Amino acid sequence: MTSNERLALVRAGLSARHRREKRFRFYGIAAIVLALGFVAMLFAMILSRGLPAFTQATFSLDVHFDPAIVKVDKKPVRSSEQSPAEYAKEISAWERKVTMVNWNKVIEAAVRNAAPETTANSREILSIVETNARFELRDMFVADPALLGKTVPVRMLASANADNWLKGNIDRSLPDAQQQLRDPARALADQLMAEGKIRNAFAWHIFTNVDSRSAPASAGLAGAFVGSLYMILVVIVLAVPIGVMSAVYLEEFAPKNRFTDLIEVNINNLAAVPSIVFGLLGAAVFINYFRLPLSAPLAGGLVLTLMTLPTVIIATRSALRAVPPSLRQAALGLGASKTQTVFHHVLPVTYPGILTATIIGVAQALGETAPLLLIGMNAFVAQVPATPLDQSSALPVQIFLWQGNENRNFFEARTSAAIIVLLGLMLTLNAIAIFLRSKLEKRA
């Protein structure tokens, strides 16, 4: 074959080969565009649905604590010969009486006062006010019985259905039968909105209230948030020291033999065990065997600790491996013992790496849902846990519970809002990590 013939052969194939090259490149770009598109879609979905949930239709009404409706005695005062138990009994009897007051009538009067010409009947009026408004009025009164007979401005949430209607989350053209609110109630809500007596206000209660079933519009994340914080705390307190100690031992001290090899394989495998298996471990060992309280952040935190441990160990080991051997030799050469070398010279260099690993592990644990379901954290809990041993929910579990709520129109937004809070918390953790990391690296 002459060189010209050969060149002709090469040239003959060139255009097809370049077409294939272009196609391959295009696939690469398409893959990246798709992946980036998924990120964009995900965030667009969450933000567009979640952000509106941070404002909610809220009444600003003048409420008259009408003595004709609020018929209760004076609040009891503790006398000197009373034991605390007896006083507690008397107070609770009084509070029961306050609760028995028909607060709905107070609310209805306030709404009617704001819109005197409405044709809505009392059921319809109450259907646009959140059901927990009556408890809020009661609590106001319990805190300050002097309100009796006075008229004060009060902010009350509109009900979930009213919020849907006013935000347009429900199709306004649907026939009457398919609307959640009756026609007069809808007209009343529109009128109050137009007059500025209902406004879209920032929904602080998402952060301050606990979950609620009877009053969905007032449901908040406080309990789940604190529960998640407790779990993070447990994870940090347990996983970091155990993980770092274990990594230091395996990387710096352990002899290379069968046993340490087994630990090594075992840790790498643990890192890839499905989270739900850890949940089963938690259910069988922590709950069923050690009888830890169900739904407690302590049990959840322990399960998440075991899950996070491999991440911390693996990352700490790779940080230790990245420390140049010259540092160890220098310290050993100066007569430091092995332990001194590792703890005084090698380990401090790896702090930024360990910190990053910890945050990644904690963030991962924070978003974990499945194992928590298995240890009973999906129970409905309407309180902020005071200690890690109290019943509690967690942010991801709360998201799971809310997405399953029957009031779809309202809870889709609420769930997205909870997701935003969860992602925001993760983002904060990462920001703290970056900040601390840069500080540590500057110091080093």
Partner 1 sequence: MNTAIIATLLLVLLGLAYQTGWSRSRRLAPAGETKLHSRPVYHGALAAIWTLVPALLIFALWALFGETASRAYLLAQLPPDVLALGSAELESTLRRIRQIESGFGVVGDALPWENQAAQALREFSTLTYAAVIAAAAGTGALALWLANRRISLRLRARNEVERVVSAAMITCSVVAILTTAGIVASLLFEALRFFSFVSPIDFFFGTVWNPGFSTTGQGAAGEYGLLPLLWGTLMVASIAILVALPIGLMTAIYLTQYASQRTRSTVKPVIEILAGIPTIVYGFFALVTVGPFLAGVGDTLGIDIRATSALTAGIVMGIMIIPFISSLSDDIIRQVPRAMRDGSLGLGATQSETIKRVILPAALPGIVGAFLLAVSRAIGETMIVVLAAGNSPFLRLNPGEPVSTVTVTIVNQLTGDTDFASPQSLVAFALGLTLFIMTLILNVAALYIVRRYREQYE
Partner 2 sequence: MNENTQLEAREMHMPTEKIVARSDLYEMESSTVRTPDAEQRPVRVTARNVSVFYGPKQSLFDVSIDIPEKAVTAFIGPSGCGKSTFLRCFNRMNDTIEGCRVTGKISLDGGDIYDPALDVVELRARVGMVFQKPNPFPKSIYENVAYGPRIHGLARSKADMDAIVESSLQKASLWNEVKDRLHEPGTGLSGGQQQRLCIARAIAVSPEVILMDEPCSALDPIATARIEELIDELKQNYTIVIVTHSMQQAARVSQRTAFFHLGNLVEEGPTDLIFTSPGEKRTQDYITGRYG
- What does the binding site for partner 2 look like in residue numbers (CB under 8 A)? 1, 3, 6-7, 9-14, 17-18
Total residues in contact with partner 1, by rule CB under 8 A: 90
Interface residue with partner 1 among 102, 113, 119, 266 (CB under 8 A) is 266
- For the chain, the straight-line distance linking the first and the last C-alpha, in angstroms and rounded, comes to 66
- Judged by CB under 8 A, the stretch of 26-34, 69-77, 129-137, 189-197 that binds partner 1 is 26-34
* 276: contact with partner 1 by CB under 8 A: yes
Q: Which two tokens stand for residue 151?
A: 């008229």
Q: Which two tokens stand for residue 385?
A: 């846990």
* 102: contact with partner 1 by CB under 8 A: no
The radius of gyration of the chain's CA atoms, rounded to the nearest angstrom, is 31
Q: How far is CA 32 from the centre of its chain?
A: 30
Query: Among partner 2, partner 1, none, what binds residue 249 when CB lies within 5 to 8 Å by partner kind?
Result: partner 1
- Judged by CB under 8 A, the stretch of 99-107, 193-201, 257-265, 347-355 that binds partner 1 is 257-265
* 396: contact with partner 1 by CB under 8 A: yes
Q: Which of 203, 215, 201, 216 is nearest to 408 (CA)?
A: 216
DSSP string, 39-51: HHHHHHHHHHHHG
Q: How far is the CB of 23 from partner 2 (least distance, A)?
A: 16
Site for partner 1 in 32-61 (CB under 8 A): 32, 34-36, 38-39, 41-42, 45-46, 49
Q: How far is the CB of 411 from partner 1 (least distance, A)?
A: 11
* Alpha carbon separation from 179 to 73, 125, 406 (Å, rounded): 42, 15, 15
Residue placing its CB nearer to partner 2 in the complex, 28 or 37: 28
Angle at 369 between CA 366 and CA 372, to 5 degrees: 100
Q: 360 Cβ partners below 8 Å, 6+ apart?
A: 311, 315
Backbone conformation region of residue 381, classed left if phi is above 0, alpha if psi is from -120 to 50, else beta: beta
Q: 291 Cβ partners below 8 Å, 6+ apart?
A: none
Q: Is the dihedral of CA 136, 140, 141, 142 positive or negative?
A: positive
Q: Which two tokens stand for residue 3?
A: 């060189």
Q: Which two tokens stand for residue 394?
A: 């967690």
Q: 140 Cβ partners below 8 Å, 6+ apart?
A: 147, 154
Q: How far is the CB of 8 from partner 2 (least distance, A)?
A: 11
Q: How far is the CB of 11 from partner 2 (least distance, A)?
A: 6
Site for partner 1 in 203-242 (CB under 8 A): 241-242
Q: Which two tokens stand for residue 178?
A: 């398919």
Q: How far is the CB of 384 from partner 1 (least distance, A)?
A: 21
Q: How far is the CB of 16 from partner 2 (least distance, A)?
A: 9
Query: Among partner 2, partner 1, none, what binds residue 11 when CB lies within 5 to 8 Å by partner kind?
Result: partner 2
Site for partner 1 in 326-385 (CB under 8 A): 337, 339, 343, 363-364, 366-370, 373-374, 376, 378
Query: Among partner 1, partner 2, none, what binds residue 6 when CB lies within 5 to 8 Å by partner kind?
Result: partner 2
Query: Among partner 2, partner 1, none, what binds residue 373 when CB lies within 5 to 8 Å by partner kind?
Result: partner 1
Q: How far is the CB of 30 from partner 2 (least distance, A)?
A: 23
